C-alpha cells in the first residue's frame, strides 16, 4: 500500500513524488531488519596481541578468522558497530569472475595477470561457499547465476567473445543469451540479450556478516566496537595502536577500512575514492510477479558504464535494486524516486509498487579499478573493492592473513606491489566525480541509441 500524501518522516525533496513510498517506508538498509549491526556490551581493548586489524567488515573479520586458524591472535577494532560499513548494506550479489576490462584511466591488465586475477576471483567464490558451509552460516546463499543485460546492441555483440574469455581464463560457466530467449532469464524486454554466468549468485549480506562475526567470536577473537583508531605509532619492532578506548601493542597492523578510510592513514585515503551506490527494496510482491521478474532467481547487472544491479530478496518476495543516478551527494530518500524510475524502465510491471527501504553505503574506487592487497609504510592492507567485495574482500582478508603468517604457498594476483595514486587527488575533495559521472552517462546514452 503506497502512502499518497508524503511520509511520516524524511520526506523526498521538493520536486519529487511521494507516491512511490510505502506507508512503512524507512530510510534504513532492508537487510538490517534481519540483523542490525550492534555494539553490545563493549569489550575491553586487549593490551597486547600479535595483530591489530582496523575495520570490522568482511575483510577485517576474514583476516582475523584465518589468522586464528593459523594460531595468530588478533584484535579487530571498529569505529562504529562491527558491520556498520558496506558489509551489511550491499546488494549481496556474488560473482566468481574478475573485472578484466580496460579501466577508464589505467592500462588493461595483461593476459597473464588477467588470468591470475580470474583464477583468484574463482577461488574467492569457493572460499565464500566453504565458509558458509563450515561455519553453518544461514544467509540465503543462492548459487543461481548472474544475468548481465546488454545495454546496447554493440555490447551484446561483444558478449560472445567476453564469455569465451571468461571461460578460458577460469571456469566461469558463461554463455550468451539471445534477445529472443532473454524472457526465460528476466521479465524484461529492456536489454538486447545478455550474458549468463553460472559461477555467481546472491546472499543476504547482513546475515553473511553475522555468520562471520559469530565464527570469530566462537574462536575467542576480540572484535571491539566503538573503538576508532586515532593514531598509529611505530614502537620497538611493532606498533602502538591508539584508540579512543585504550591502546594496544601489536606486531603488525592491517588496514581494512575500504570506503571508510580516513585521515588516520592518509597514504591509503588518497589511493581510494569513496563512492556511494544507492539501493531500494520494494514491498512484498505477489509470488506470480516475483517469478515473472526473475524466473530463475538469478542476480542481475547490466553492461551500462554506470552499472545497475538487482535481485530478489533472499526470501524471494521483494525486488532489491541498486545504482547511482546523480553525482551530487543526496540522501537515500532523495535518490529513491530517481532510482525507482531506473527500475521501472527495466520492469514496467513494478509501476505502482511501493518501496519500503532506501539506503546507501561507501565503496572504494581505485585508479586501476582493481582491489589491492599488500604492505605500504609498514602497514598491511586489503582495500579497494571497486563496488564488488562480498566474496573478494573475504578472499583478500584471508590471503592477507596467510601472507602475515608467512605461509610458503601464499600467492595473490592482487598483491602486485603497486597501488597507484594521482597528483590531482588529495583524498578529500572529489571535485572530478560529477565530470566523470556525466561523461559516463553521455557515453551510455550514445551507446544505447546509436551503437
Ligand X SMILES: Cc1cc2nc3c(=O)[nH]c(=O)nc-3n(C[C@H](O)[C@H](O)[C@H](O)COP(=O)(O)OP(=O)(O)OC[C@H]3O[C@@H](n4cnc5c(N)ncnc54)[C@H](O)[C@@H]3O)c2cc1C
381 in contact with ligand X (CB under 6 A) = no
- Cα of 383 vs its chain's centroid, Å: 12
**Span from 56-64, 335-343, 345-353, 435-443 in contact with ligand X (CB under 6 A):** 56-64
Burial of 287 (0-12, 13-18, 19+ CB in 10 A): exposed
Smallest gap from Cβ 160 to ligand X, in A, equals 25
**Span from 211-219, 258-266, 283-291, 312-320 in contact with ligand X (CB under 6 A):** 258-266
Cβ nearer to ligand X, comparing 194 with 389:
389
**Span from 51-59, 214-222, 346-354, 403-411 in contact with ligand X (CB under 6 A):** 51-59
- The answer to whether 253 and 64 are in contact (CB under 8 A) is no
Q: Which of 64, 72, 74, 79 binds ligand X (CB under 6 A)?
A: 79
Contact string (CB under 6 A) for ligand X, positions 196-235, x = contact: --------------------------------xx------
Burial of 445 (0-12, 13-18, 19+ CB in 10 A): exposed
Residue 78, C-alpha cell as written in the block: 571498529
Sites for ligand X among residues 102-131 (CB under 6 A): none
Residue 406, C-alpha cell as written in the block: 608467512
258 in contact with ligand X (CB under 6 A) = yes
Contact string (CB under 6 A) for ligand X, positions 131-150, x = contact: --------------------
Eight-state DSSP code of residue 397: H
Smallest gap from Cβ 310 to ligand X, in A, equals 9
Q: Which of 140, 187, 277, 337 binds ligand X (CB under 6 A)?
A: 277
Smallest gap from Cβ 25 to ligand X, in A, equals 18
Cβ nearer to ligand X, comparing 99 with 188:
99
361 in contact with ligand X (CB under 6 A) = yes
Smallest gap from Cβ 423 to ligand X, in A, equals 25
C-alpha to C-alpha distance for 398 and 394, rounded to whole angstroms: 6
Residue 18, C-alpha cell as written in the block: 511521494
CA angle 173, 177, 178 (to 5 degrees): 155
Helix (H, G, I), strand (E, B) or coil at 99: coil
Q: Which of 12, 85, 122, 374 binds ligand X (CB under 6 A)?
A: 85
Count of C-beta atoms within a 10 Å radius of residue 108: 13
Q: Which of 63, 68, 90, 188 binds ligand X (CB under 6 A)?
A: 90
**Span from 75-83, 101-109, 213-221, 341-349 in contact with ligand X (CB under 6 A):** 75-83
Distances in Å between the alpha carbon of 385 and those of 68, 351, 371?
A: 24, 33, 5
Eight-state DSSP code of residue 184: G
Of 365, 387, 145, the closest CA to residue 270 belongs to 365
- The answer to whether 155 and 187 are in contact (CB under 8 A) is no
Per CB under 6 A, residues contacting ligand X are 54-60, 77-80, 84-87, 89-94, 228-229, 256-260, 262, 264, 277, 279, 309, 322, 360-363, 385, 387-390, 393
Amino acid at each position: 500500500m503506497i502512502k499518497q500524501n508524503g511520509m511520516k518522516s524524511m520526506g523526498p525533496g521538493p520536486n519529487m513524488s511521494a507516491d512511490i513510498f510505502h506507508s512503512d517506508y524507512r530510510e534504513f538498509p532492508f537487510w538490517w531488519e534481519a540483523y542490525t549491526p550492534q555494539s553490545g556490551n563493549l569489550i575491553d581493548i586487549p593490551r597486547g596481541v600479535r595483530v591489530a586489524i582496523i575495520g570490522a567488515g568482511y575483510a577485517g573479520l576474514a583476516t582475523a578468522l584465518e589468522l586464528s586458524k593459523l594460531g595468530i591472535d588478533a584484535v579487530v577494532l571498529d569505529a562504529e558497530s562491527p558491520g556498520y560499513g558496506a558489509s551489511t548494506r550491499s546488494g549481496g550479489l556474488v560473482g566468481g569472475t574478475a573485472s578484466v576490462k580496460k579501466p577508464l584511466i589505467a592500462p588493461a591488465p595483461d593476459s597473464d595477470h588477467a588470468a591470475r586475477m580470474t583464477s583468484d576471483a574463482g577461488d574467492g567464490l569457493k572460499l565464500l561457499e566453504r565458509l558458509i558451509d563450515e561455519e553453518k552460516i544461514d544467509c540465503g546463499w543462492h548459487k543461481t547465476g548472474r544475468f548481465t543485460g546488454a545495454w546496447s546492441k554493440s555490447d551484446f555483440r561483444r558478449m560472445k567473445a567476453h564469455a569465451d574469455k571468461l571461460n578460458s581464463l577460469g571456469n566461469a560457466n558463461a554463455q550468451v543469451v539471445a534477445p529472443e530467449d532473454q524472457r526465460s532469464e528476466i521479465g524484461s524486454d529492456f536489454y538486447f540479450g545478455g550474458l549468463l554466468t553460472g559461477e555467481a549468485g546472491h546472499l543476504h549480506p547482513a546475515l553473511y556478516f553475522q555468520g562471520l562475526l559469530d565464527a570469530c567470536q566462537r574462536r575467542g577473537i576480540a572484535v571491539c566496537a566503538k573503538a576508532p583508531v586515532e593514531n598509529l605509532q611505530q614502537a620497538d619492532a611493532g606498533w602502538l595502536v591508539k584508540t579512543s578506548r585504550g591502546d594496544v601493542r601489536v606486531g603488525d597492523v592491517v588496514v581494512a577500512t575500504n570506503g571508510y578510510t580516513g585521515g588516520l592513514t592518509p597514504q591509503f585515503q588518497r589511493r581510494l575514492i569513496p563512492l556511494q551506490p544507492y539501493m531500494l527494496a520494494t514491498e512484498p510482491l505477489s509470488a506470480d510477479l516475483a517469478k515473472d521478474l526473475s524466473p530463475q532467481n538469478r542476480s542481475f547487472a547490466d553492461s551500462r558504464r554506470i552499472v545497475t544491479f538487482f535481485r530478489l530478496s533472499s526470501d524471494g518476495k521483494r525486488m532489491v535494486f541498486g545504482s547511482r543516478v546523480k553525482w551530487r551527494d543526496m540522501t537515500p530518500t532523495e535518490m529513491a524516486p530517481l532510482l525507482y524510475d531506473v527500475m521501472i524502465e527495466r520492469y514496467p510491471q513494478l509501476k505502482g509498487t511501493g518501496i519500503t527501504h532506501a539506503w546507501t553505503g561507501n565503496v572504494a574506487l581505485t585508479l586501476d579499478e582493481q582491489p589491492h592487497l599488500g604492505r605500504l609504510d609498514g602497514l598491511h592492507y586489503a582495500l579497494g573493492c571497486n563496488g564488488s567485495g562480498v566474496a573478494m574482500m573475504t578472499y583478500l582478508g584471508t590471503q592477507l592473513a596467510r601472507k602475515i603468517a608467512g605461509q610458503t604457498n601464499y600467492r595473490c594476483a592482487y598483491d602486485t606491489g603497486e597501488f597507484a595514486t594521482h597528483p590531482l587527488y588529495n583524498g578529500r575533495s572529489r571535485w572530478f566525480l560529477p565530470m566523470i559521472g556525466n561523461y559516463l552517462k553521455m557515453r551510455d546514452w550514445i551507446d544505447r541509441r546509436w551503437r
